[in-house]
Amino acid sequence: MALAYVGSSIPSILVVDDVPANVDILVEHLQYENVHLIVALNGEDAIDLACDRLPDLILLDIMMPGLNGYEVCSHLKSKPETMNIPVIFVTARGEDYDQEKGLALGAIDYIAKPYNASILKARVRNHLAMKKKTDLLNHLASIDGLTNAPNRRYFDELLEHEWCRCQRAARPLSVIMIDVDNFKSYNDFYGHGKGDDCLRQIVSAMQAALMRPSDVLARYGGEEFVVMLPESTASQAMVVAEKLRRQVCSLAIPHLVSGISGNVSISLGVESCVPDRCASSLGLVERADKGLYRAKALGRNQCCLNASNAS
């Protein structure tokens, strides 16, 4: 799966208020703003919708039965997947203390009722524009400039997230470490321009081989890549690894250097475990790397489980 940023997509706003009439007014004001509106009538539904839909902005009332707006905001700011969604409190509680409390919880703005519709829309536009710029910057910081694949920083963060998720669910998590065989000699002989083209072709071929949205390929450094396969066993990961190897071989990129006669190939090391039985996500990567070294020691252009899993 390639990391993608869709800058032209229509932004979404989650409107949260337990009074349907208040929701209707907000919807009426915003319906011509080229946004997609999502509505929740209580705090519990707001949290579920925020986690499921990941809106670009949340307009949140404070006084609601059950979870109030402060509690909803606090909950969203505590979760990695929703902590960066901007929240604007739109409420009748307009005292300085209320505004200070809301901003301290992580809200970016506070609009007191009754509000001016033009000012409301202007603030919404400004915060959506800021969110778009922030998303673009985060995207640029998370991709490899050469191959447009996710970079190591993004992969490490995602791996830790998936590690915790699979740990809670007691589900397996697999990692494949990948190295382009004899790439230094290829780069030296054909030149860095051809070497860059080679890496881009390899990434494109491997991404095409990953069928599930949850499977992520990233550039780990130089000519080394890594794939994360959530909820995949060792045997399933080996099937994917072999598919990756065959995809790269099918490119038939000539590699005719002194001592090497053939096409560009890759070596792959595989490791899989259930996180509650393993020490850390870093250990998972290290063990997959051992499988990679084993594949290279056995002659390259092959897939190997790490030594502890190999039969």
CATH architecture of the domain with range 152-305: 2-Layer Sandwich (3.30)
- 28 annotated active-site: no
Q: Among the listed ranges 77-81, 125-129, 180-184, 283-287, which one has the minimum average pLDDT value?
A: 77-81
- Least Cα distance to 303 among 250, 244, 241, 261 occurs for 241
- pLDDT at residue 3 is higher than 70: no
Question: For all residues of the chain together, what is the average pLDDT?
Answer: 91
Residue 172 phi, psi dihedral angles, 5° rounding = -75, 155
- Least Cα distance to 170 among 275, 272, 271 occurs for 275
Alpha helices by DSSP H, listed for the chain, are 20-30, 43-53, 69-77, 96-104, 117-140, 152-169, 183-190, 192-209, 234-250, 281-297
Domain ranges across the chain? 12-140, 152-305
Predicted confidence at residue 139, as pLDDT, reads 83
How far is the C-alpha of 225 from the C-alpha of 175, rounded, in Å? 11
**Which one of the listed residues 95, 157, 160, 223 is annotated catalytic?**
223
CATH architecture of the domain with range 12-140: 3-Layer(aba) Sandwich (3.40)
Q: How does pLDDT run across 237-270, given as a tens digit for each residue?
A: 999 999 999 999 999 999 988 677 789 999 999 9
Residue 71 phi, psi dihedral angles, 5° rounding = -65, -40
The residues, ordered by sequence, that sit 6+ positions from 74 with a Cβ below 8 Å of its Cβ are: 105, 106
The stretch 198-205 carries a mean pLDDT of 98
Contact assessment for residue 3 and residue 139, using Cβ atoms and an 8 Å cutoff: yes
For residue 230 the two structure tokens come to 């959530």
Predicted confidence at residue 258, as pLDDT, reads 66
Residue 222 phi, psi dihedral angles, 5° rounding = 60, -125
- pLDDT at residue 1 is higher than 90: no
Predicted confidence at residue 275, as pLDDT, reads 86
Contact assessment for residue 109 and residue 89, using Cβ atoms and an 8 Å cutoff: yes
Cα 33 to Cα 55, 122, 215, distances in angstroms: 15, 10, 36
How many residues are listed for the chain in this entry?
A: 311
Residue by residue, what is the 3-state secondary structure of 4-51?
CCCCCCCCEEEEECCCHHHHHHHHHHHCCCCCEEEEECCHHHHHHHHH
Residue 307 phi, psi dihedral angles, 5° rounding = -55, -35
For residue 138 the two structure tokens come to 């985060």
Q: How does pLDDT run across 120-151, given as a tens digit for each residue?
A: 999 999 999 999 999 888 888 899 999 999 99
